[in-house]
């Protein structure tokens, strides 16, 4: 039996909300399915991962939440600035 961790830090941590998935289905012709399997075999990727990467690249600009802006502070090191 494992010992319980002591400390209040772990008790206060909120649980991360899980990702919600929605099913999507579509039909492929026999030729499209063979081409997809051939591509996935040569590039060592699963069909689902391949299709998700295609969807993500095309849908990225339509997301509701834009990426957070990058803030540069005055305390940041200037290692590569030209003098």
Residue 31: the pLDDT is 97
pLDDT of res. 50: 95
pLDDT means per 10 residues, the chain with 83 residues, are: 57 83 93 96 95 90 75 68 63
| Interatomic CA distance for residues 14 and 36, integer angstroms | 41
pLDDT of residue 45: 96
Question: Domain boundaries in the chain?
Answer: 31-60
Cα–Cα distance, 59 to 52 (Å, whole number): 10
Task: With both helix axes pointing from N to C terminus, report the angle between 47-59 and 30-43 in degrees, rounded to the nearest 10.
Answer: 90
**Are 50 and 39 in contact, with CB atoms under 8 Å apart?**
yes
């Amino acid at each position: 039996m494992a010992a319980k961790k002591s400390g209040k830090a772990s008790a206060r941590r909120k649980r991360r909300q899980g990702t919600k998935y929605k099913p999507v289905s579509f039909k492929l012709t026999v030729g499209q399915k063979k081409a997809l399997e051939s591509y996935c075999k040569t590039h060592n990727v699963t069909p689902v991962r391949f299709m998700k990467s295609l969807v993500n690249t095309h849908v990225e600009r339509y997301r509701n939440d834009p990426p957070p802006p990058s803030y540069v502070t005055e305390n940041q090191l200037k290692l590569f600035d030209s003098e």
